[in-house]
Every structure is written in structure tokens, then in C-alpha cells.
Amino acid sequence: MAVEATSTLSVHMPGTPGYREATAVYNLFAPVQPDEAVIADSAGSVAAAITRARSRGLDVEVISTGHASSMADRMSGALLVRTVPSGPVEVDPQTHRARIPAGTRWGAVAEAAAQYGLGAMHGSSPDVGAVGYLLRGGLSFYGRRFGLAVNSLRAVELVSADGQLHRVDTDHDPSLFWAVRGGGGGFGVVTAVEIELFDTAGVWTGADWWPVSEAGPLLDAWAGWTRTAPREVTTSFRILRLPPLPGVPEPLTHGPVACLDGVALATSSAEVPGVSAKVDDLLGRMRAVATPLLATWRAATTLDVPQTHMDPPDPLRAVGDHMVLRDLDEDGQQAFLSTADAASQSPLIFSELRQLGGALSDPVADGGAVNHLKGAHCYYALAVPADEGQAAAMRRYLAQARTALAPWDTGSVVPNFVEDRDNPGRWMDEERAAFVDLVRRGIDPDGLFRRGVWPPR
């Protein structure tokens, strides 16, 4: 449908307060420097921005909360559209659906859904933007129960390169709806999405922490459990080096620690006893290996889940790496530990294995371009250097860790975790990628949004 371009569009140039607001990012080592920037809170302002970009011969780039800036280039020769919410999250408890304006953070979605006893497929941070996370796949702590978060999308609203507003779903432009769900961007500016929510009769979440000296037997116990783990439970195993900062419990700041965190979900009252027993079984196995320094697993609510992983809310300097790994045998576990335990002298703030499998590995018949993952673990490592000199050394360490884990690398990635445009991993085969490109050329024949495509074509 045609959308009326807003005539009062505010355009921000480098050096102005509005430009700094529009270009703010989460990773301070991945700044963006477009020629011009706008803050758009409606389809009309997005259409006006597109018209301006065309008139000035600029490409169009898009960000919302700025968490994925490492996937973008520096944006010279581009106009940046920063999407901010046009209104609140709208929940329909009868249909179990929610409409989410672009720029909305997951914390607001979780709060809106919780009012009706419902949950959403958010990630491990309440501060990440919902739309970008969803379109890049989305790996949720509810993932082993329901699959990739992108599969919860039921409709997408976007403004295309010709200024037209499209609402696409399985019945309206199904090819575009298929491609936009995981296809790598470049289709237009998404202004809102509609997702399916789920019932939440019982939730368990928390973290157990141990001295890193116990990491070897703990990892072995956890890896063994994951091979037959119930789908109701999704966990991660991490080795962290936590600084003495407000909010970090004091026992965890004395040196490297191993951590098991995660979420278990019952969607009906009949499931509650069984899921509770499955949580007890996991924790019993792990605590039999060693007594935790701190144990916070508990019966909780959906609003507790986004805080479980303790992702830092404030912008920081970061370098990282990511792979999807096959099941780690004894050698694989030792390879992981060699990059992160006390003896490694690792500079990484954390090295993480997120549990895959379950519904995450199930192909979805009516899903999008990306709808499932093959692999056992999502590997993610992050360092927080003080300056570029430290960053170079930490990148070298990350490269060494990648080499150590190479025998277990599937060659796949989850786009949400990619910190470097040069990451060699892929998440679509050539046939799917070719069809996505065909759809992209159909809706953006001049390549106005080509810079936002990852991996670069």
C-alpha cells in the first residue's frame, strides 16, 4: 500500500547531538559514520528518509538499538535510518499474538506478554531490539522447546525501496515473507512485526557457579546430559572472568568461574511436576560433581528470565567470535577448556557453549529461509579490551581459540552472534541463498539496501 511520506523529517549531520543519538551503538569498537542520519518512528518518516536518500544518491542502512553494528560497514555514502517505537507492544491474549513496533526492546515485549500469562521468544538480554533479533534467527532460552525465534513471526510490516508499505505473511506475498525470515536483510525497512506467544504455567531459571578448577568434570557431566536432555530445558555452560562491579556477587570475582545457567518451561499445569523434576535431575547431576560457590536456580517468572544471563546493559568495547559446533567428545571438551580455563591465561571475559538440539534442530515446513539449526552447541566468546592495542592481541587469541575448536566446527553460524563481517560461517545453503537473492532483487532492483545484506553478496 502507498504510505504518505512525512514532510517534517529531521535529518542529522555529523557533529550534531541528533546525529550522535541516531548513530549510537552497543559495541563501541563498531561505530557507524553515515553521511546523514534520521530517527524514524513511523512508516511515513521511513518513506521520507528513502525519498531523501534517493534524491542525494545515498544508500540506506538501518539500525534500531545498535546491537548489531558489527555486522555493518562504517556507512560512508549512506543515509542511516534508526527505527524507534511508534507505540507500545499490542498483545491479543485470545490469539496469543503480539504486534511489536520496530525499535522495541525485548524487555518491553516480555512485560506486555506477562500481563496475560504469556511468554515470547526473546534472547538473553532485555535490552536487545526485538525486530533485528527475530529477523536474524534468534536463539532463545525457550529454543529447545519451540525452535528458532524467527519461527514465531506471523507477519512483517516493511517499507520497500519505492516507499510502499507492505504487510507480508503466509497469505500475502509469501515469497517475501519466506525470504525476510532469516534471509540476511536488504529487503526494506521493517517497521513492525507480529509474533506468536506461548502459555507459561511454570518457569525455572537461575545459575550455578563453581571455581574454574572444577570446569573439566562439570563440562563432562553437562555434555553427557545434553545428549539426551528434555526439550523443556535449555542451558548454557560458560567460563567467565568477572570484574568487581556493582551487581556482580563477591564470590564470583576472585578468579575464573564456571557457570551453568538456563531456563525450563512448562506450558500447562499438568506439565509442572514433570518439568520441575527434570530441573532437579540436571542440578543434582551437576552438584554431585562439586558444590557451587553460588546457586540461584529457582521457580521464577518469565520476567526473571531476561536477567538470568547477566548480559551487560551498557555500551562497551568488545571483540568476539562465534561458531556452531558438533557434539564435543572428550577431545573437544579439552579443546574448549584449553581456550578458557585458568591455565590458558585467557583474556576473554567469557567463553560460552549454548545448548542446541531439540526443536532448534527440527525443520519447519512453513518456516522461512532459515528455520532450524544443525549442531550441538553455539560457541560464543567475548573480550572487552581497553583500547585498539589490546583489541589486536585479543583478536589473535580468538583466532587461536577458533583453530583449537576447528575440528568440531560445523561451518554454520547463528547471525545474532556474529561479531565480524569476515566470519567464514554461513547459515544458508547456496540454493536457499540464490532464491533469497531473487526475492531481494524483485523488491529492491536498484540495490538501495544492498549494504545491509549479510553475508555480503
- Read out DSSP for 344-396? GT---SEEEEEE--GGGGS--TT--S-----SSEEEEEEE--SSHHHHHHHHH
Q: Which tens digits make up the pLDDT trace of 261-272?
A: 999 999 999 999
Rounded CA gap, 153 and 367, in Å? Answer: 9
Final residue before a domain boundary, out of 83, 109, 142? 83
The alpha carbon of 117 is separated from its chain's Cα centroid by a whole number of angstroms, namely 24
Rounded CA gap, 278 and 240, in Å? Answer: 26
Q: Is there a domain that residue 424 lies in?
A: no
Q: Residue 132 maps to which CATH number?
A: 3.30.465.10
Our count of domains for the chain comes to 3
Residue type at 378?
Answer: C
Residue 193 pLDDT greater than 70, yes or no: yes
Q: Is there a domain that residue 5 lies in?
A: no
Q: Which tens digits make up the pLDDT trace of 113-170?
A: 999 999 999 999 999 999 999 999 999 999 999 999 999 999 999 999 999 999 999 9
Q: Is there a domain that residue 453 lies in?
A: no
Final residue before a domain boundary, out of 83, 98, 128? 83
Residue 96 or residue 9, greater confidence:
96
Residues 57 and 122 in one domain: no
Residues 383 and 236 in one domain: yes
Residue 93 pLDDT greater than 80, yes or no: yes
Residues 364 and 401 in one domain: yes
**355: nearest Cα among 333, 339, 379:** 379
Q: Is there a domain that residue 3 lies in?
A: no
Residues 32 and 58 in one domain: yes
- Sorted by sequence, the CB contacts under 8 Å of residue 43 that are 6+ apart come out as 3, 157, 159, 165, 191
Q: Is there a domain that residue 154 lies in?
A: yes
Residues 68 and 173 in one domain: no
Residues 373 and 266 in one domain: yes
Please state the rounded mean pLDDT for residues 278-286.
Answer: 98
Residues 279 and 344 in one domain: yes
Final residue before a domain boundary, out of 169, 199, 229? 199
Distances (CA, A) of 119 to 91, 141, 166: 11, 11, 27
Please state the rounded mean pLDDT for residues 11-34.
Answer: 95
pLDDT class for 244, splitting at 50, 70, 90? confident
Output the CA torsion sign for 142, 264, 354, 207.
positive
Residues 346 and 253 in one domain: yes
CB 191 within 8 A of CB 159: yes
CB 71 within 8 A of CB 86: no
Residue type at 53?
Answer: A
Rounded CA gap, 324 and 377, in Å? Answer: 6
Q: Is there a domain that residue 425 lies in?
A: no
Rounded CA gap, 265 and 329, in Å? Answer: 28
Residue 401 pLDDT greater than 70, yes or no: yes
Residue 6 pLDDT greater than 70, yes or no: no
Q: Residue 377 maps to which CATH number?
A: 3.40.462.20
Residues 75 and 31 in one domain: yes
Residues 165 and 63 in one domain: no
Angle between helices 272-289 and 215-226 (to 10 degrees): 150
Structure confidence at residue 329 (pLDDT): 97
Q: Which tens digits make up the pLDDT trace of 310-350?
A: 898 889 999 999 999 999 999 999 999 999 988 888 999 99
Strand boundaries in 102-178, DSSP class E: 118-119, 153-159, 165-168
Q: Which tens digits make up the pLDDT trace of 344-382?
A: 889 999 999 999 999 999 999 999 999 999 999 999 999
Residues 140 and 236 in one domain: no
Mean pLDDT of the chain: 95
CB 137 within 8 A of CB 149: yes
Q: Which tens digits make up the pLDDT trace of 26-80?
A: 999 889 999 999 999 999 999 999 999 999 999 999 999 988 887 777 799 999 9
Q: Residue 42 maps to which CATH number?
A: 3.30.43.10
Structure confidence at residue 422 (pLDDT): 83
Q: Is there a domain that residue 397 lies in?
A: yes
Q: Is there a domain that residue 434 lies in?
A: no
- Domain containing 147 equals 90-199
**55 burial level (CB within 10 Å; 0-12, 13-18, 19+):** exposed
Query: Out of 16-30, 207-221, 223-237, 238-252, which region has the weakest mean confidence (pLDDT)?
Result: 238-252
Rounded CA gap, 387 and 391, in Å? Answer: 6
CB 42 within 8 A of CB 86: yes
Residues 168 and 207 in one domain: no
Percent of the chain with pLDDT over 90: 87
